[in-house]
């Protein structure tokens, strides 16, 4: 059963919320089978799947393509679609782009920063919004932890409260000191989902490619549960060797329903 915004909000203080990103249909299918209640189709797709150096290169067309793929793989899971760089630059632009993500299959949208007018406009028009503060990659000049000085920490707290008051139903906290993650989680009514924000958040999110070990860089706060890039290398080498030796296509091995894990 798909959890809508209200049901996710009600998990605060009751059940830790697990969130993973997904960008493709087969990955989304596995994530849904694992009963993860919420999938983020993040603009990290630009970096971890498309080879860009920054999330700023991601467009709304890229996002609708990936939201659609994830929706087809996970029909019963709450999907958050990220609004890419500048697609939320003013309230009307944001509403237009948010509607595109919803039409592609998202249940809610996420945007970076305390853009309170934008958030309020989306919510007033019936769109569920997830906030995002701390490190906000679309505008960050460096990827170091945010909120280490007292002044910076106060700014993150003020921004998070403003995002909540503007109507966001949940908030992602990225790369902040763990005690600040705990303070925010205590202060806010809405669930906090941490990525590098410590163990006291209401939930945790990982970029699935990082969790899978699919890539060549991982942020210090992620955890690799597998090493899929090594598996791909092994498969490619095995296949190349079998073509060279004319072993393939003999002894074909098929895993029935393997696409369904
Ligand atoms: O785009 C993304 O994957 C994100 C997460 C890092 C929270 O915004
Ligand atoms: Na993002």
Q: What are the residue ranges spanned by the domains of the chain?
A: 5-226
Average confidence (pLDDT) over 116-142: 97
- Taking CA atoms only, the protein residue closest to ligand 1 atom 1 is 42
pLDDT on residue 215:
87
pLDDT band at 1 (very low <50, low <70, confident <90, very high): confident
The answer to whether residues 197 and 175 touch, using CB atoms and an 8 Å cutoff, is yes
For residue 251, is pLDDT > 90? Answer: no
Active site residue 237: no
Question: CB count, 10 Å around CB of 140?
Answer: 16
Cα 255 to averaged position of ligand 2 atoms, centre (Å): 34
- Evaluate: CB of 112 within 6 angstroms of ligand 1: no
pLDDT on residue 260:
56
Q: Which residues are annotated as a binding site?
A: 43-44, 82, 110, 112
pLDDT on residue 261:
54
Beta bridge partners of 128: 108
pLDDT on residue 124:
98
Q: Ligand 1 pocket check: which of 23, 41, 44, 173 to mutate, most ligand atoms within 8 Å of Cβ?
A: 44
- Evaluate: CB of 172 within 6 angstroms of ligand 1: yes
Long-range contacts of 175-182 (CB under 8 A, 24+ apart): 175/134, 175/135, 175/143, 175/144, 175/145, 175/146, 175/219, 175/221, 176/134, 176/135, 176/145, 176/146, 176/147, 177/145, 177/147, 177/148, 177/153, 180/147, 180/153, 180/156
d(CA 203, CA 84): 23
Cα 253 to averaged position of ligand 1 atoms, centre (Å): 37
For residue 255, is pLDDT > 80? Answer: no
According to CATH, the superfamily of the domain at 5-226 is Phosphoenolpyruvate-binding domains (3.20.20.60)
Give the active site residue among 10, 49, 76, 174: 174
In this predicted complex, what is the ipTM?
0.99
pLDDT tens track for 9-55:
999 999 999 999 999 999 999 999 999 999 999 999 999 999 999 99
Relative to the CA of 207, which ligand 1 atom is closest?
A: 3
pLDDT on residue 258:
62
Percent of the chain with pLDDT over 70: 98
Cα 259 to averaged position of ligand 2 atoms, centre (Å): 27
pLDDT tens track for 225-250:
999 999 999 999 999 999 999 999 99
């Amino acid at each position: 059963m798909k959890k809508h915004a209200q049901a996710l909000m009600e998990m605060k203080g009751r059940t830790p919320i697990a969130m993973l990103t997904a960008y493709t249909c087969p990955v989304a299918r596995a994530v849904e089978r694992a009963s993860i209640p919420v999938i983020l189709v993040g603009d990290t797709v630009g970096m971890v799947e498309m080879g860009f150096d920054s999330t700023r290169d991601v467009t709304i067309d890229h996002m609708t393509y990936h939201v659609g793929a994830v929706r087809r793989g996970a029909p019963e899971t709450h999907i958050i679609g990220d609004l890419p760089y500048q697609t939320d630059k003013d309230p009307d632009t944001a509403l237009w782009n948010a509607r595109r993500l919803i039409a592609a299959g998202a249940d809610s949208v996420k945007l970076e920063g305390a853009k309170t007018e934008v958030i309020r406009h989306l919510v007033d028009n019936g769109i569920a919004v997830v906030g995002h503060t701390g490190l906000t990659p679309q505008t960050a000049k460096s990827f170091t932890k945010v909120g280490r000085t007292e002044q910076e920490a106060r700014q993150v707290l003020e921004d998070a409260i403003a995002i909540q008051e503007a109507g966001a139903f949940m908030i992602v906290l990225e790369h902040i000191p763990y005690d600040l993650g705990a303070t925010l989680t205590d202060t806010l009514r809405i669930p906090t989902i941490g990525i590098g924000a410590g163990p006291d958040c209401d939930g945790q999110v990982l970029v699935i490619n990082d969790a899978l070990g699919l890539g060549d860089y991982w942020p210090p706060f992620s955890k690799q549960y597998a090493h899929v890039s090594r598996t791909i290398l092994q498969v490619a080498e095995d296949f190349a060797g079998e073509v060279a030796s004319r072993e393939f296509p003999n002894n074909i091995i098929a895993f029935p329903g393997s696409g369904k894990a």
